[in-house]
Structure 1
Amino acid sequence: MRAGTQNRSGGPSSLNTAVLADRYLAPGETTRNDVFKRVAHALSVAEQPGQRAHFTRLFYANLLQGAIGAGRIMANAGRVNHGTMVNCFVHPIGRGGQSVADASDVERALHQAQITLQMGGGVGYDFSVIAPVDAEQAASNSGTESVCAVLDAFDRVCATQALINTRGGAQMAVLRCDHPDLTAFVTAKRGRKRWSTFNLSVAVTDAFMRAVADDGLWCLQHPAVPNAQRLAKGARVLSNGNWCYAVVPARQLWNAITEAAHDSAEPGLLFIDAINGANDLAEIETIAATNPCGEQPLPPWGSCVLGPIDLSRWVQWPFGMGGQPLFDFIGLSQAVRVQVRMLDNAIELTRWPLPEHMHEAHAKRRIGVGVTGLADALTMMCLPYAAPAARCMAAQIGRCLRDNAYAASAALACERGSYPLFSPERSLASGHFSAALPKAVREAVARHGLRNSHLLSLAPTGSVSLAFGDNCSSGIEPAFDWVYQRRVRTQHRAPQLYRIENRAYRLFRALYGQHAALPDYFVTARQIDGFDHLRMVAALQPSIDASISKTVLLPHGTSCAEVGALLFHAWQLRLKGITIFRPDSGSGDILSVLPALVSRPACFC
């Protein structure tokens, strides 16, 4: 028996139905299958007319097997509305080549953000081009505001948009580790509800992390000219042309970051040198920010269409019922190849908020095949999430995703042409991502090129896992719990509490009965050591050309020092980013295991 072939886990819960109706059903639709039919038909329009019926059936079958689109695809494909099928965007604040953004740049960026948010896209920004709070404004008459003041303006725009769109808006604010406003930025959310539409991240460099390790000094710098008082104190121009505002102990800044992360789960860290070092397009683009959930590092105007595959559908003989559990890699391989085609079609068919998005997307054709239900799949295979064998299985799954996604993209390039900026010398060079592909796939890339510059992205999958995955575990996260409460707001009504059960748990109960003891491989997020969370990301990262969104859930009693050790170890593992969360019973509650309460800024993909 395969989990996806014979579903004995019961029907969808009232929450699954409520989320489906609130976010994904078009007028006249009543079921998930109605959504699947609409999406499959809409995305087949990019095919040749004589092939559209065939690909409609192929996409529909793939959707039924758990290879779905991310939230914007499922909500907007085939609908007569102004929504986009693209979840992820990164916007510049200034114009190309500018090192300091002025007031007109900020106004322009606010307008561009509003258009994108109205169409359902989440946006990330690098705010490092904003002059520090004490920059000399009179000299340039720029009217530039501080980073925190600019974020206030972007937050207001997004919060207003949330009143129009039931999904709400999601944004990411990134600031470099050497920006003079860094301390104010990382402490802005501590102890108060500020910037509710934003997730915060600090872009940390290897040089900064080495300074932290060595207890060295760190220069806070910016191209903006300091004010006269600062100049009188000896501000100086550095060799890179920036002004040095202050020299402080690196660990002083590190402590501010870790204390803020400990208290408010923010900021997360983006290891920006690891991100750019692993980017196959590093010669032609520089990445300084990510989308709101962090799984997609993107250049200015970059975007990505996403589509997770429910891994729990590919487990044969789950929990050992009828035989030794096995993972159907052949079935997953086929699903990945179809998924690549469907997501590539979305680039052709989606509505773009801005022309800049379309031009950047068509030049590089980024897509993000991802997963959901990893923890459920491991549990069905009788593997505890934190066990080395579970990480080994996850790594095998990652390689299956990678190899088949790149093979499918090479086949699409043969049929439709490579992405315009493709260079075989660059992509197949030693040390690039493609160098790790199997020989046959590399040869296909050499012959035909690649249709897509990036193909893999592991995102959170909150609402689609509810609406289309029967509440399977989200993304690559461990199961939050097996039975718990979730507070959800729909149709602008007051939030309502729902009791829900994890999909793998319901399947186990259907197979073994309500009174059977849960085996020890049933492990929840709160039972997993923080370092084991990181080890799972490290097992998957070599197979993912974009990045991985993963929150390390820590016990409430975790100390600041322990948080700092986790953040530092993530850098040592060469991960691309990390976010931690320490539940606080005094916070606003989204998830609850009676009586504890947990919350995170919403970011539905």
Structure 2
Amino acid sequence: MEKTKTYSFEEAFESSLKYFGGDELAARVWVNKYAMKDSLGNIYEQSPLEMHWRIANEIARIEKKYPNPLSAQEVFDLLDHFKYIIPAGSPMTGIGNLHQVASLSNCFVIGLDGDADSYGAIMRVDEEQVQLMKRRGGVGHDLSHIRPAGSPVNNSALTSTGLVPFMERYSNSTREVAQDGRRGALMLSVSIKHPDSEAFIDAKMTEGKVTGANVSVKLTDEFMQAAVEDKTYVQQWPIDSTNPKVRKEISARKLWEKIVHNAWKSAEPGVLFWDTIIRESIPDCYADLGFKTVSTNPCGEIPLCPYDSCRLLSINLYSYVDQPFTENARFDFDKFKKHVQIAQRIMDDIVDLEMEKIDLIIEKINKDPQNMEVKAAELHLWEKIKRKSGMGRRTGVGITAEGDMLAALGLRYGTQEATDFSVQVHKTLALNAYRSTVTMAQERSAFEIYDAKREEKNPFVQRIKDADPELYRDMVKYGRRNIACLTIAPTGTTSLMTQTTSGIEPVFMPVYKRRRKVNPNDTDVHVDFVDEVGDSFEEYIVYHRKFLTWMQINGYDTKKKYSQEEIDELVAKSPYYKATANDVDWLMKVKMQGAIQKWVDHSISVTVNLPNDVDEALVNKLYVEAWKSGCKGCTIYRDGSRSGVMISASKKEKKVAQEQGTATNENKTETTPCVHPQVTEVRPVELLCDVVRFQNNKEKWVAFVGLLDGYPYEIFTGLQDDDEGIMLPKSVTHGKIIKQTNPDGTHRYDFQFENKRGYKTTVEGLSEKFNPEYWNYAKLISGVLRYRMPIDHVIKLVGSLQLKDESINTWKNGVERALKKYIVDGTKAKGQKCPVCGHETLVYQEGCLICTNCGASRCG
């Protein structure tokens, strides 16, 4: 029966606080992101205890369809307190939730068959991307099919504009779609063989461009070899054609140096070693049956064919360490093997649950009031996804807390000993996941296109055969339930609830930059543990409790104030010593990833975190080593590389622009909010105006922001498509707000813009076009803006307004969104902590909050 009792946020928070033992951050994250809700935000669960029973009961329901079913209690015992098995966000929020119609898949890849190089195909992919993102899915697609710039086209444009404008199109669609503050996630990729790949690589270096997508370039072995040996490389389009229409020779070394430079400068593009991906891919043994890998999901851990998707689950490695942080610490391989086999079984059950969710989505689309012409594309999209999901039954079993596991065993992350042990764990994981999928093939049948002959030369299958000949014989005889099984995905905010770190990253010790802190209300000077961004130890331990566990096991008082000497001694004894991102041998980390990759049939999402002062030569060395070590992809993040916006203006132009309140971008000069002007109490008759469009839920909104010296001075905001609203051509992004005096002495505000031909159009009575209540609040906000309160403080003020009416709250969200674009990039979000790593290191960039510590972003 569907649950109908609801809880207030406060009730759920208090109950969750008890569940998490007083951890406010974990409780808040769970209530905000994972508690079962409906589309109106009503909360139907009081704590994770109810969530885990919801999931366990649904898994048990599916299990009853098959022989040897697991009970709900058995499943619950593995989920409870996030101890052993942790479903990813989409399964956690969606399983058993009948209040929302959403997919359980975390990630999708899309792409049309055949000749997809047309505006019709490009717009169809754009629509499919949006349709998936609104169901909470991350999306990836490849652009290699689009003809390069300057190519002839059969329309009035005569020549193609190339890849970059379509990158911006897809990026804008992503920024438009947000779910409960969670921005849509997009991966755009292109082959290095494409003649426009250099423009693709450079696209995000231009200010404000492609801000809604991750970008990765697909590198071939041939290109990498040419780059290393400084040889020429041939690009062509179509990239796989034996008779290409476009062909050019380039210096592989020069293009490689650009990739390295951009990655050093801005952490993008990521690189995908495409030949390794395809060579190792088991699904590509079935490429002619629709399983040809074309791109990856946004985080890069799932290479996928078009219209396939994947659900994710992580196993908490730390929980398999008996007597952690002691001389007797050991990893319980027997328990681990048993749980891995169950985890793979649960993942297959989740595929069944996803098929049910897709049926509900299709049912909803059929019942929607729009005619079939409007909804046919969405309907066909989900029919394709259902077909592909059912054919392959792809799963994504992964791990979390590897760094904690190693520390608990007394192994230092980044050493050869730790790497060897990690490889042993991942080999065990792979063999037992594959044992489970073979057993399920016996009990439930194999995925429908399984063919042992197709797979016999696959390198991953060969490793299975060499490691466990009996398993291989059984696989040939019975088949496999799942076409592919394994991945290592970033666990994001779920790691805050597991009380561990995420992925295969080491724990970051909070003790490498220390300072003395003086309490102004106390004459004593005492030393706190201080991490690299200045948080106190008492705050920091919320995110790295395993260090506390070590302290407690070894008899240290975690509440004591330690002297500097005691801190130094304590740190040196810690198993986390010399295991932070800045201490780890980065080359060893890349080699570790490559070694582990051999036992992961999909891919690994991992970022190599580097200090700010490293040079480009190191980035080059790490990327080349990643390729040679067998990694399928690699992303480099240099500390601070995302803290500012990449602009094309010279330093001199930038300085002049700041002094004059203007910004130079290519050949266009426009006002920019980089100068904080003096207060101007008397409003000028005319103000330049930005038109900002956005979407709240399903409603289209528009904001008119009047600017004085490039700084917001007033704002009008409301629905743009209601009966009394305002309709503008989509091309209108700028204009003027003109203050007019009526015959009776009252004032009105008109909006005036120029069309493409230079003719002026005036929309009279701008203030009368929107709900009067919006206008009254807008006057309040405009008054604050007029007296030049800093924009981030204005946004905080707007966000704190206590408004009971839901529509006014929606207006409030719209004002916040409209104003965020005027915050100077790099402005610190004081008092706000990153929901992923917990540090107070959030800065504004392009209207989004970016964490300079871990790279997490939040928009909307």
Work out which of the residue numbers 449, 462, 471 in structure 2 matches 1:441: 471
Greater shift, 379-388 or 193-202, is seen at 193-202
- What is the DSSP-based 3-state SS (H/G/I as helix, E as strand, rest coil) of the residue aligned with 1:369? strand
How far apart in 2 are the matches of 1:431 and 1:377? Answer: 29
Which residue number corresponds to residue 169 of structure 1? 184
2:529 equivalent to 1:527: no
Shift of 1:294: 0.6
Shift of 1:304: 1.2
Larger deviation, residues 444-453 vs 279-288: 279-288
Match of 1:16 among 12, 17, 26: 26
Q: How far 1:466 moved relative to its partner?
A: 1.4
What SS class does the counterpart of residue 248 from structure 2 fall into?
Answer: strand
Alignment partners' CA distance in 2, 1:141 and 1:360: 37
Q: Secondary structure at the match of 1:174?
A: strand
Offset from partner CA, 1:335-363 (integer Å, 9 cap, x none): 11111111111111112361111111111
Q: C-alpha deviations, 1:444-494, integer Å up to 9, x for none?
A: 213321100111101111111113x12x1111112244476999xxxxxxx
Per-residue Cα deviation, 1:273-319 (whole angstroms, up to 9, x for no partner): 00000112323222221111011111111211110011011111111
Contact 1:428/1:446 (<8 A) preserved: no
**Alpha carbons 1:103, 1:142 under 8 Å: kept:** no
| One-letter amino acid of the counterpart of residue 311, structure 1 | L
SS at 2:299 equivalent: coil
Query: 2:451 aligned with 1:423, yes or no?
Result: yes
The equivalent of 1:332 in structure 2 is: 336
Give the structure, 1 or 2, with the largest relative contact order (CA under 8 Å, sep 6 or more).
1
The code of the aligned residue for 1:502 comes to H
CA spacing shift, 1:196–1:415, aligned 2, 3 Å: same
**What is residue 386 of structure 1 aligned with on the other side?**
414
Instruction: Tell me the CA shift for residue 431 of structure 1.
Output: 3.8
Secondary structure of 1:68 counterpart: strand
Q: Aligned residue for 1:69? A: 87
Report the AA paired with residue 201 of structure 1: S
Matched-pair identity in %? 28
- The DSSP-based 3-state class of the residue aligned with 1:580 is strand
1:295 paired to 2:301: yes
Separation in 1, partners of 2:44, 2:235? 57
CA 1:256–1:87: 2 relative to 1, 3 Å: same
Change (3 A) 1:170 1:549: same
Query: Would you say 1:465 and 2:495 are equivalent positions?
Result: yes
**Counterpart of 1:317?**
323
1:183 maps to 2:194: no
Judged with a 3 Å threshold, the aligned counterparts in structure 2 of structure 1 residues 393 and 423 are, in CA distance, closer, same or farther, namely same
Distance 1:341 1:416 in 2: 11
1:48 maps to amino acid: K
Moved more, 301-310 or 593-602: 593-602
Q: Does 1:502 align with 2:556?
A: no
SS at match of 1:201: strand
Match runs of 1:71-220 below 5 Å: 71-80=89-98, 81-92=100-111, 95-98=112-115, 100-138=116-154, 145-162=161-178, 164-190=179-205, 192-220=207-235
Kindly provide the amino acid, as one letter, of the partner of residue 250 in structure 1. A
Q: Give SS of 1:371's match.
A: strand
* TM-score, length basis structure 1: 0.87
Q: Would you say the 8 A contact 1:205–1:271 is kept in 2?
A: yes
Structure 1 residues 50 and 252: alpha-carbon distance in aligned structure 2, compared to 1, 3 A threshold: closer
Partner of 1:5: none
Return 241-250 or 297-306, whichever deviates more: 241-250
Distance of aligned partners of 1:222 and 1:391 in 2 relative to their CA distance in 1, 3 Å threshold = same
Deviations 1:512-533 (A, max 9, x none): 3235713253021221122122
In structure 2, the CA distance between the partners of 1:287 and 1:140, relative to structure 1 (3 Å rule), is: farther
1:355 aligned to 2:361? no
The letter for the 2-side match of 1:105 is: A
TM-aligned CA deviation for residue 11 of structure 1: 3.2
**Contact preservation (8 Å) 2:183, 2:858:** no
Match of residue 786 from structure 2: none
In structure 2, the partner of 1:241 is 243
Please tell me whether the aligned partners of residues 290 and 298 of structure 1 are also in contact (alpha carbons under 8 angstroms).
Answer: yes
Q: Give how far 1:601 is off.
A: 4.9
Query: How many angstroms does 1:257 deviate by?
Result: 0.5
1:246 Cα deviation from its structure 2 partner: 2.9
Q: How does 1:582-601 map to 2 (within 5 A)?
A: 582-584=638-640, 586-587=643-644, 590=834, 597-601=852-856
Residue in structure 1 matching 2:602, options 546, 561, 572 = 546
Of structures 1 and 2, the larger Rg is shown by: 2
Structure 2 counterpart SS, 1:269: strand
| Change over 3 Å in CA distance of 1:484–1:462 after alignment to 2 | farther
Task: State the partner residue of 2:665.
Answer: none
Distance 2:858 2:483 in 1: 25
Instruction: Give SS of 1:581's match.
Output: strand
Contact in 2 for aligned 1:223/1:243 (Cα 8 Å)? yes
Corresponding position: 1:366 with 2:408? no
Go from structure 1 to structure 2 and tell me whether the alpha carbon gap of 1:526 and 1:177 turns closer, same or farther (over 3 Å shift): same
Residues 10 and 25 of structure 1: is their aligned pair in 2 closer, same or farther, counting only changes over 3 Å? closer
What residue in structure 2 maps to residue 230 of structure 1?
Answer: none
- 1:23 to 1:484, Cα distance in 2 relative to 1, 3 A: farther
- Asked whether the 8 Å contact 1:413–1:449 carries over to 2, the reply is yes
TM-score normalised according to structure 2 size: 0.62
User: How far apart, in 1, do the equivalents of 2:455 and 2:446 lie?
Assistant: 12
> Higher mean Cα deviation, 10-19 or 77-86?
10-19
- Judging changes above 3 Å, is the alpha-carbon distance between structure 1 residues 133 and 524 closer, same or farther for their aligned structure 2 residues? same
1:581 aligns with 2:637: yes
Q: What is the aligned partner in structure 2 of residue 479 from structure 1?
A: 507
Match of 1:220, SS state, is: strand
Classify 1:557/1:401 alpha carbon distance in 2 versus 1 (closer, same or farther; 3 Å): same
> Does residue 511 of the first structure (1) align with residue 553 of the second (2)?
yes
Which AA in structure 1 matches 2:607? Answer: T
Q: Does 1:251 align with 2:253?
A: yes
Change in CA separation of 1:476 and 1:242 when aligned onto 2, cut-off 3 Å? same
Question: Which 10-residue stretch deviates more, 64-73 or 389-398?
Answer: 64-73
Return the letter of the residue paired with 1:539: A
Distance 1:170-1:142 versus aligned 2 partners, 3 A rule: farther
C-alpha deviation, 1:199, in angstroms: 1.1
For this pair of structures, how many residues does the alignment match? 566
Q: Find the aligned partners of 2:285 and 2:318 in 1 and give their Cα distance.
A: 38
SS in 1 for 2:639: coil
The offset of 1:266, in angstroms, is: 0.5
- Counterpart residue number, 1:271: 273
* 1:600 partner letter: G
SS in 1 for 2:209: coil
- Distance in 2 (alpha carbons) for counterparts of 1:260 and 1:601: 19
Is 1:450–2:504 an aligned residue pair?
no
Q: Are 1:179 and 1:220, in contact at CA under 8 Å, matched by a contact in 2?
A: yes
Residue 502 of structure 1 deviates from its aligned partner by: 0.9
In structure 1, what is the Cα distance between the partners aligned to 2:533 and 2:123?
Answer: 38
Residue 104 of structure 1, CA deviation: 0.5
Instruction: Provide the alpha-carbon RMSD of the alignment.
Output: 2.8
CA distance in 2, matches of 1:565, 1:49: 52
